[in-house]
Amino acid sequence: MGSVSDPSPLNFEERRISSTMTIQDSGFMMEDGVSCLPCTPEEQKRIVTELKNESESNLKEGNLYFVISSRWFRRWERYVGVDADRNLNQSSDSRHSITASSNMEEMPGPIDNSDIVQNGSDGVCKEDDIQLRGMLMEGQDYVLVPQKVWEKLHEWYKGGPALPRKMILQGVYHRNFDVEVYPLCLNLIDSRDESQLAIWLSRKASVTELFQRVCALRGVEQDKVRIWDFFNKRKHAQLFASNKSLEESNLQMDQDILLEQLDGHQSSRFGMDSTGNELALVSVEPSRSSYTFAGGPALSNGHSSGYKSNLYPGGSIGLGLTDRSDSFDAYNSVRKGETRGLTGLQNLGNTCFMNSALQCLVHTPPLVEYFLKDYSDEINTQNPLGMHGELALAFGELLRKLWSSGQTSIAPRVFKGKLARFAPQFSGYNQHDSQELLAFLLDGLHEDLNRVKQKPYIEMKDADNRPDEEVAAESWKNHKARNDSVIVDVCQGQYKSTLVCPVCSKISITFDPFMYLSLPLPSTVTRTMVVTVFYGDGSGLPMSYTVSVLKNGFCKDLLLALRTACCLKTDENLLLAEVYENKIYRFLEVPLEPLVSIKDDEHIVAFRYQKKGMEKTKLVIFHRWHEKSKSDYLKSGKELFGTPLITYLEGDQISGADIETAVSKLLSPFKRMCSSDKFHIGKDNDFLSDGLNETCSSSVAHSVENAEFEGTSNMDLSLWLHLTDDRVMTFKPLKKDTLFESGKILRVVLYWTDKEQELYDSNYLKDLPEVHKAEFTAKKTRQEAISLSSCLDAFLVEEPLGPDDMWYCPRCKEHRQAIKKLDLWKLPEIIVFHLKRFTYGRYLKNKIDTFVNFPIHNLDLSKYVLNKDGLSYIYELYAISNHYGGLGGGHYTAYAKLVEENSWYHFDDSHVSPVNESDITTSAAYLLFYKRVGSETKMETEESSHSRPVS
């Protein structure tokens, strides 16, 4: 690993081999399914819990954690009986406790991380080490375990590959620990031969460490080379060996760095731009950060010669590098007829969430007006709650570049670096929530621009039955005495909060400020799921059914809906299973298993049987294409295809002939209809006719020709079947006279030769539909639409506090589950509505895609405002932050309106395009930005009151 120096007990080749070990090789399962693990499941759970607690009590930078696939780890948790969140709604006597004496199928097998690692080269990031797939989400795709936990799990189960990651310390004021799951990948371009090589390093590694790694890999001496920040194939800055981290140097995931030799052998094309001119270079650390507000001249390299050559002489504020575009960098070269404000933001690695929120903010008219003027006198460097003005300076610099002319797109690297420093929760390269970023930005900008330099102490008074108008005015005055900024002027409103004790009826009324309103979506309690039902007795073709169930329901609810959809008979039952990589990953046999454990991108099947047969021997049939060569035949079974079939066998003694008969019966619905010696697919999606062509039906009993290799002779079955294990890693030819005891789970692999492909239509086994196909485009599903007003009503409804959020009653002197009621008292000029589309749990994050019908013009909020102050509360929409698709793989964009020209535009990272107003209302809307109509006069009046900052 780039950031870990061989921490694994296995080297790379050993890890690669271990990832393909068979269950027999792993040393924990012997014949007859007897466990040879050194301890019971209960002991495993105890040991792992103790090791986790020990690790959490000794957190420090450099500690090793290991990434493990959630799929495998959940199997282990079920095996050892971990009581996860998904069982919290079950009663203690109904929970399914899995112990060593339970079904041996629940044993997880070797650690399997194959579903979270790259299977090959992915872009430029090629290295001998195994790397994670992109866009993985913790808890949903992988879990992190401390080194000692990994060592124990690997000792018990083997498998892999090992994926070690280091713990790093992040943040400036709020330091917190984080495991660097995705180290920084840099693409090294050697100008001597134009070769490219991927380098993996921690983003906390120093530039000196980068030099050492580059020089070691390329066999050069450090004092004879120089390295350039070569972002977007342009020389941005020369890197100098120092203790400065790669993150502080604004290096981004997957970007280029350029190696040049000082003897003049570098290729000349790397020092030129697209026009052949030598590039204007920005020094990596200017002695002072020059700064230009709108109106001052600017040089082409982004450094100004304006009237503010040094914002704070001798101070610590400095932006260092500036965010540069890929085109023209001057602020104020407005050409005739050119529109400003249409500059895109480049994606720096899952930063679409940041780009979306930023585009909405930089198109907020009063903020644009403010940051395009000289606001230097309002920078608050002394505020302990702020960021010494650095966030406001970085945001203002970025806004001015986005509003300069001649730009196509900006790479906001410096701004992202500030986020990593002051808000480490947004560091790295994972997808985040645009609303969470917006909340941080509004709060951070306010503190950096707070006109109050010394906050006075104010003791809050109780309402004591005073008129609401008096209490509200007092609360707002106290708030403004400590908080006075352009953000308060523009974005903050006030709501009334009423709490009533359910025991003594004590009433508490407070008036609190707000910067946005998070509105619940009152509908969408159901979930659509697609399940494919197979006949376990071979009596019909599979059918896919779409059913509607409660989102918070259980597997028993899904089974009930399926019974109705597929007209299940009273003497029949359904067996639910998840199919993953053409294998049965797990059986969903626990009735109270929550449906939230089934993700939308999974493939769920059901097998229907006679109830009386489901206590017998279970037979699982896997499918594999027949390979022509011996080397292909001996492969590990990665060529599996289609959906496994399951049936039950009768009798105390099961023979190989019985298994073949059962397999033939299950395949019978897939027989091709025969006509004129040519095969074609039957059209009926139900039972097939018995009147098949005699030649076609008789060809079932064929022999496998030219398919015998050494060690596979004496195969006396007409179908080519092999016995296998539950991992489908070992293969043993099945013979007719082989006998098995009843009650076991038997697994066989059916090899499909040319004969089977001619006789049976394998398409019925392929292409299982997902539980729910997430559409990347936003559908206007108005049939289940809800209005913005209904969301507001749900936000303002009276409701009891949750058990984890109880209120301390001053009269009872105890915490009570009080009744809470919110009311809007005062609304700001800019109001942001956050539609709460996401719900979060330990293992799953859900998204609600319901269409919210929100007005673009004339949103009248007057009826929601208690304070009748005579102001107009009519609002116009001017920006939207959109979220498309599901979680993890979703994407953020923005719609924003240029108010001056009354036109809407779509901002999709670096791409900007016009859009019709009629097309901006979609089910992807996540954040809605409204501006009060006719509020300019009021704002101008308020501005006069801030001519002098409070000291």
Distance CA 715, CA 703 (A): 9
- β partners of residue 807: 816
- β partners of residue 673: 680
- Burial class of residue 543 in the structure, from the number of CB atoms within 10 Å of its CB (0-12 exposed, 13-18 middle, 19+ buried): middle
What radius of gyration do the chain's Cα atoms show?
A: 33
The SS3 of residue 318 is: coil
Distance CA 766, CA 753 (A): 17
The amino acid occupying position 153 is: L
Q: Which residue has the tokens 């895109």?
A: 344
Pick the catalytic residue: 603, 772, 834, 891? 891
Distance CA 283, CA 301 (A): 10
Give the tokens for residue 234. Answer: 């342009």
Q: Is residue 352 annotated as a catalytic residue, yes or no? A: yes
Angle formed by the axes of helices 352-362 and 434-448, nearest 10°: 50
DSSP 167-213: EEEE-SSS-EEEE-SS-EEEEEEETTTTEEEEEEE-TTSBHHHHHHH
Q: Which residue has the tokens 């195969």?
A: 715
Cα distances (angstroms) measured from residue 168 to each of 68, 89, 174, 233, 377: 19, 36, 14, 30, 37
Identify whether the C-beta of residue 611 lies closer than 8 Å to the C-beta of residue 738: no
Q: Which residue has the tokens 């030769």?
A: 753
List all residues 6 or more positions away from 890 whose beta carbon is below 8 Å from its beta carbon.
431, 847, 883, 884
**Any idea what DSSP says for residue 106?**
G
The SS3 of residue 666 is: helix
Identify whether the C-beta of residue 922 lies closer than 8 Å to the C-beta of residue 882: yes
Give the tokens for residue 376. Answer: 């230097």
How many other C-beta atoms are found inside a 10 Å radius of the C-beta of residue 863? Answer: 9
Give the tokens for residue 813. Answer: 């002197």
Distance CA 270, CA 258 (A): 8
Distance CA 381, CA 384 (A): 8
The amino acid occupying position 297 is: P
List all residues 6 or more positions away from 66 whose beta carbon is below 8 Å from its beta carbon.
144, 145, 146, 147, 149, 150, 162, 163, 164, 165
Identify whether the C-beta of residue 739 lies closer than 8 Å to the C-beta of residue 651: no
- β partners of residue 833: 517, 928
How many other C-beta atoms are found inside a 10 Å radius of the C-beta of residue 336? Answer: 4
Rounded to 5 degrees, φ, ψ at 104 are: -65, -15
Rounded to 5 degrees, φ, ψ at 361 are: -70, -40
**Any idea what DSSP says for residue 687?**
P
The strand pair at 731-733 and 721-724 is best described as antiparallel
Q: Is residue 567 annotated as a catalytic residue, yes or no? A: no
Pick the catalytic residue: 125, 154, 236, 352? 352
List all residues 6 or more positions away from 319 whose beta carbon is below 8 Å from its beta carbon.
289, 291, 390, 393, 394, 397, 414
**Any idea what DSSP says for residue 130?**
-
- β partners of residue 29: 35
Find the helix or strand (DSSP H, E) in which 335 lies.
none
List all residues 6 or more positions away from 5 whose beta carbon is below 8 Å from its beta carbon.
none
DSSP 177-188: EEE-SS-EEEEE
Distance CA 146, CA 149 (A): 5
Catalytic positions, written as ranges: 352, 891
